[in-house]
Amino acid sequence: MEDIQYAFMDEVGDYRFDFDNQEVSTHFIIVSILIKGSNKAMLEQELEKLRQQFFPDGKIKSINDNTLTTQILTELKELPFTIYAFVIDKRKIREESGIMYNKPFIRYLNRMIYEDLNQTFDQLDFVVSEAEAKPFMQEFKNYIESRNIPDLFNYSIFGFNDTKSDILLQLAGFVAGTIAKGYDHAHYSSHYRSFFQLMKHKIAAINLLPIDYKNFLYDYKFGNRDSRYDKVIIKQAVNLAYSYMEKHRKSEDEDEKIRLVFLKYLLFNLRENPDQYVYTQEILDNLNALRDIKINPHYFRSNIVSKLRDSGVIIASSTKGYKLPVCLNDLYDFVNLSSLTIYPMIQRIAKCREQILLATNTEVDILEQKEYEYLKKVIEMIKHEHVEI
């Protein structure tokens, strides 16, 4: 039987929009803790040990003690779960759509989050707290159940599960509260960067809503270098990524789904570490955390990255991995890495052609076919420029 994938969900934030009130959250954060059914019992046992160690008289929860938060995140690093989150900037929601109170806000979230999860996952069994009356979670449950019809055995591949696990829901709440420390003014902590580094390899995606490239320019330091073109580059890279995602968001093709998850991960990395590349293995670990059939590096490069670039998406790469570019140097990295492959290949073709021309007294030219005309022109141009082939 296929291993069930659970999504234990919790939220942080409120539904109010009176931002002059310092008690009103600027962000609303939803976290799904993704767990394979085969790992559930073991994870519950390990979390109970952690609860007894750090919260002997209560629940696992987000706290303001930076040292304790660091210790807990360190203990969580090797446990078998994945984080899939949404961070909604309520201030931008109000600016974009005029939403000013909770009911239309919840409807907005229902639609956006359902579309994303339904596109990303083939099967999920959601679990939310039945004891706590959280309006979004209750409405989200109704929203999903109205759109997913169970089969003859009363099972839906994308719906809510009767499974109960308070401690896994506590984990979701702890992670949501920790992520809030990097976004919401009421929870903000200067230690968030160190928290993030401890969580990083557990995160499949942090989706920022509403969609706006300026989300990814937030707090970005262009430094002392000439940034005349840098803002143009980052804006173009993000907008092209989002245009691709919007165009293909309803695709049922499995490779397209993988490409969308990859782009989300690049956007997430851009927000958290704009100057850093992400190693291929780290990307594969995140992509493979969401699926049973694993992707290998060759398949990833040829079917995911190459196809995105063929469609015009700008992805920088170097020996350190991949990223969305934020400056000219990122693009030069891509050109330099590509040239290490392109130029030697042209050299080899040119030498092969030259040897056959000599052996056949110029009667056979392996680039004579029309489809190779561009290669012939490149080789002739290089020879004309006195570059050694």
% of the chain beyond a pLDDT of 70 = 88
pLDDT of residue 52 exceeding 80, the answer is: yes
Evaluate whether 320 touches 269 at the Cβ level (below 8 Å). no
pLDDT of residue 167 exceeding 80, the answer is: yes
- Extract the tokens encoding 305: 């990255």
Q: How confident is the model at residue 385 (pLDDT cuts 50, 70, 90)?
A: low
Query: In the predicted model, what is the mean pLDDT of the chain?
Result: 84
Report the range of poorest mean pLDDT among 151-155, 156-160, 317-321: 151-155
Which of 54-58, 73-77, 268-272, 376-380 is modeled with the greatest confidence?
73-77
The span from the CA of 232 to the CA of 226, in Å, is: 12
pLDDT at 153: 42
Each residue's pLDDT tens digit, 119-131:
788 788 888 887 7
Mean pLDDT on 278-285: 88
Q: How confident is the model at residue 226 (pLDDT cuts 50, 70, 90)?
A: low
- Could you tell me how far CA 311 lies from the centroid of its own chain? 19
pLDDT at 55: 93
Each residue's pLDDT tens digit, 292-316:
778 899 999 999 999 999 999 999 9
pLDDT at 144: 84
The count of other CB atoms within 10 Å of the CB of residue 154 is: 6
**What are the φ and ψ backbone dihedral angles of 193, each rounded to 5 degrees?**
-60, -40
pLDDT at 389: 43
pLDDT at 222: 53
Stronger pLDDT, 382 or 116, i.e. the higher one: 116
Query: At 90, which helix (H) or strand (E)?
Result: helix 90-97
pLDDT of residue 191 exceeding 50, the answer is: yes
The span from the CA of 5 to the CA of 33, in Å, is: 10
Mean pLDDT on 150-161: 55
pTM of the model: 0.70
- Extract the tokens encoding 138: 């209750």
pLDDT of residue 317 exceeding 60, the answer is: yes
pLDDT at 51: 94
pLDDT of residue 217 exceeding 60, the answer is: no
Each residue's pLDDT tens digit, 339-375:
888 888 888 888 898 888 888 888 888 888 888 888 8
**What are the φ and ψ backbone dihedral angles of 168, each rounded to 5 degrees?**
-75, -35
pLDDT at 117: 85
- Extract the tokens encoding 380: 């002739």
Q: How confident is the model at residue 180 (pLDDT cuts 50, 70, 90)?
A: very high
